[in-house]
């Protein structure tokens, strides 16, 4: 079975540039999550979707960050303009259920983002 | 306040030793879910186990076992006869049925020395 697929695996870009991270969830999973992992702050939930609709974006750090899910098999996380402090590993995860009857989240391999 | 506390930042053991990773959680919900994830040096996050708050039975899966105790709000993870491949960062996590958050602990970095 295909797991959660993220691209690119690594991204190095200069500050001020637009960065787009991509995610394909596991087929049939209704929930999609975006996380950021840094040494200082650990794993932070940025935003999650249910049936392609953003439910909670309270973890999005600022307006430079935006996420979309145009269909059930694709999501993007965009940073514009990027800053060096955005350097982190960004994970996408998907799940069959969240909240009531919470099911495990299955994670992609992550995108290691470096902003110079 | 931390919802999930993993007090052990780093642990080193010699191969074949048993090791227990501690996890203490905090919630007022009666329905909640607890998870353990493994993050090996390659960086991916691997799901290990899910437990709901109504199931306090301990679970064993091969060399892995989990001890869930609601009385102490703990969900500890034991690796028996550790192996070098067990070296990783292990995360405990909590999700409340009524909430919109998935709380990760800060992780315990386990090093198994050959």
Count each helix (H run) and each strand (E run) in chain A, helices first: 0, 11
Per CB-CB distance under 8 Å, the chain A contacts of B66 are: none
Dump pLDDT digits (tens) for A28-57.
Answer: 999 999 999 998 888 999 999 999 999 989
User: What SS3 state is found at B22?
Assistant: coil
pLDDT of B1:
61
* Cβ–Cβ contact B41 with A under 8 A: no
The predicted model gives A61-68 an average pLDDT of 94
Residue B77 — φ and ψ, nearest 5°? -125, 125
Question: Does B98 contact chain A (CB < 8 Å)?
Answer: yes
Provide φ and ψ at B70, rounded to 5°: -65, -30
Q: How far apart are CA A108 and CA A66, in angstroms?
A: 19
Set of chain A residues whose Cβ sits within 8 Å of the Cβ of B37: 107
By Cβ distance, the residue of B31, B43, B101 closest to A89 is B43
């Amino acid at each position: 079975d295909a797991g959660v697929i993220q691209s690119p695996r690594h991204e190095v870009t200069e500050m001020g540039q637009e960065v787009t991270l991509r995610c394909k969830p596991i087929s049939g999973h209704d929930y999609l999550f975006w996380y950021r992992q840094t040494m200082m702050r650990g794993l932070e939930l940025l935003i999650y979707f249910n049936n392609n609709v953003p439910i909670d974006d309270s973890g999005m750090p600022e307006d430079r960050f935006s996420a979309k899910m145009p269909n059930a098999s694709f999501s993007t996380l965009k940073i514009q303009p990027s800053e060096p402090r955005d350097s982190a590993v960004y994970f996408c995860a998907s799940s069959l259920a969240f909240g009531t009857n919470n099911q495990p989240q299955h994670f992609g391999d992550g995108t290691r983002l470096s902003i110079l | 306040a931390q919802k999930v506390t993993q007090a052990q930042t780093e642990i080193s053991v010699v191969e074949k030793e048993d090791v227990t990773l501690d996890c203490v959680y905090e919630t007022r919900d009666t329905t909640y879910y607890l998870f353990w994830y493994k993050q090996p040096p390659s960086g991916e996050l691997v799901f290990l186990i899910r437990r709901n708050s109504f199931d306090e039975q301990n679970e064993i899966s091969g060399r892995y076992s989990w001890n869930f105790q609601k009385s102490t709000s703990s969900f500890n993870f034991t690796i028996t006869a550790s192996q070098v491949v067990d070296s990783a960062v292990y995360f405990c996590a909590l999700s409340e049925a009524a909430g919109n958050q998935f709380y990760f602990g800060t992780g315990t970095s386990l090093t198994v020395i050959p």
